[in-house]
Chain A
Amino acid sequence: MRKKAGLILFPKFFYFLLTVFLLVSLELPPSGLAQEYPTKTIQLIVPFPPGGSTDLTGRFVATYLSKKWGQTISVVNKPGAGGTTGVMFALRSKNDGYTMLMDVISAGTLNPAIEGKLPYKWDEPTLVARTNISPLVFFVKGDSHWRNLREVLEDVKKDPEKFTYGTSGLGGPSTFSIAQLLEAAGIDPTKVARVVLQGGAPTVTNVAGGHVDFASQNLSEVISMIQAKKIKGLAVTTPQRVKQLPDIPTSKEAGYPAYKLVGWNGIAGPANLPDYVIKKWDQGIREIMNDPAFVEDMERIGAPVSYMGPKDWKAVLEEEYKSAMKFAEKLGLRK
């Protein structure tokens, strides 16, 4: 008798608990009304592991916009394949504005230029707004006998095969900027040995240790070593000198204005993003650009803010993509 009672009571109780449970775990669906966007947590996909420059940028943007919109933006890291994994994840997500992408130059234009079989095209994601640029710095070993960029390039030109340079990855801004520079100096980039290292930090240490002769990396990666004189910066790729390292001439001042590639980060989303999403983010980013705290935070990580709206940005990127394609083929990188 007791057993039967148990059987009768239990299923009901069980279903009750289950229902309660489900309700607690469910997130209410978004209202879908444009004026009210965002009404729930937004996922900002960062296609790299935590701690890197794209990740930090994403976290800052997320923090400031969350405060402004009163809605959580949570950073989700989806690293892999040089950024491809994260981009693909974002592209495959619903285009309701609740999954956005913290894009970066390598995943945005450079990888598509190199990898013909990449699962996405450079213009597939919806481009919303650029958030910042990353100046690149050309540097050599701290106690090197080279005193400026011209001396380096002259030596290399005389005997290119004797020299090596390091890059932080196989096709990122470091590779392409060096290609720009060498070409401007009339040197065949394929003659100088390119050593592909894993990340900015090893590239810097390898130059500091003298294992490779020169490299071109993001500002944030080189500041402390330059200040400690373990490496010597000889040029920056931005049109003006960089605040944190005022002694380093611009590429134009150093005589090679063609060395001008800068990295960038920006917000993007899946294809066919609704207009109200684009507008909201565009406006939001423009607003935080005016927040001195945000500007300062970004400066600190070596990613000075540099807003550009969707249309202008797309045009710039198209240019960048074409130029990257050219170098990719010349360097024999394109597959």
Chain B
Amino acid sequence: MNQTREFHHRIDDALHNDQLRSNFRSAMTGVMERRAQQFPDDDQLQALREQAQAVRANSLVKQPELLERLEQKLTENGIQVHWAEGSEQANAIIHGILEAAGAKTVVKGKSMVSEETELNQYLEQRGIQIIESDLGEYIIQLAKEPPSHIVMPAVHKNRFEVAELFREFHPDIPYTEDVDELTQTARQVLRTRFANADAGVSGVNFAVAETGTLCLVENEGNGRLSTTAPRLHIAITGIEKVVEKLSDVPPLLEILTKSATGQPITTYFNMISRPRQPNELDGPEAVHLVLLDNGRSRIRVDEELLDTLRCIRCGACINHCPVYVQLGGHAYGTVYPGPIGIALEPQRLGLDQAGTLTSACTMCGACAEVCPVKIPLPKLINRLRAESVNEQRTTTPLSGRGSLRKPSEATIWKLWSRLNSHPRLYRMFTFAATRLRWLTPGKLGAWTRYRSAPRPARQSLHDLARKEGFSNE
């Protein structure tokens, strides 16, 4: 399968890139420590996780009703709501709004949903100039790379690599490898662009149905500028981001920032409720919200896979994943990397397209242990493995079910199953394997590239137990 081969190529590239791996190791170690410092009391953490899980689970159960209420409230507030089934439609809606407003330049806040729809490419092809205002996003925009992490998009680059990029794109500014100076440079460049942009595009962290409020969590103030300085603001988000009440937000916000970056609270927290009013001095004249489905309604139908949609995009599962730290985000080849990517992308794109991702998991459970909304990630990944080799007895509308089944592998498991479900066969096998242990090959494919081959013992435990007089029943 081509996609499988591509995945293996990317893995190979990542594992041979020592600089990349050391960038990820040091970044992930830091962010894990910072998160741990925010949760000194495990009981309190567990209570907060329960609360956050309950809020998100409630939102998903009531989602259709909440989305209707959200639309109604936003409309009352003067925010125009648009619905998009897929990426193409979402992009076309946004382009249409920009065109109608005569907007040629867009300043953009960080939005993973816009990565899903590949909005930047879409708009650039239609002659609209986009500048990413989040520092990390700006760096990868210069480098023409996709994000390697959902919260820290440029985490794969160290400061020397960033300094090189800035030298190339801002030759007028003195070269520096100092992180603070680099940040200042970016701020100066970006600030002048904010003032001149025709429109701002942003994501949304929580959309509150009760009040029609769009919440945006950020650290650099770029989100606030993108959503207030230009005369037009367009927000885009996935339909699962809706929550019922304003009182649902504080527990989610607290656990989001602590889990994501180990901050008690981010520097900025924006609550957008309406466009500029006649008596107000600033703010956009028009605000739009694009609500994207992109497979989410399909996922919601399955009562187990539904848990995937609880995600608040903190990235803690990614930060704690022992596979991600070895590979980095680009190796996954999907918008969302790491455990949440392995769980979400095969559902969003189809098992035939992204099912191979499920092999990049040891089932260690580190992700589920830290997930602020208690998504059982290993359980979901295991389910997707099962669905990709064999349609399970459910009515889930998952696409590509059974598409990764290989006859040779299926035969091996059938033989294995037969051997281990027939005690007499099993005993014959262990008898042969122990007596003929000298025949065990010294090379066992990929296993012995990194380890010596295991060898059967002279006698099985069945043999030893009998000899030592342990009873059989």
Do A and B form a real pair?
no
Binding site for A on B (CB under 8 A): none
Binding site for B on A (CB under 8 A): none
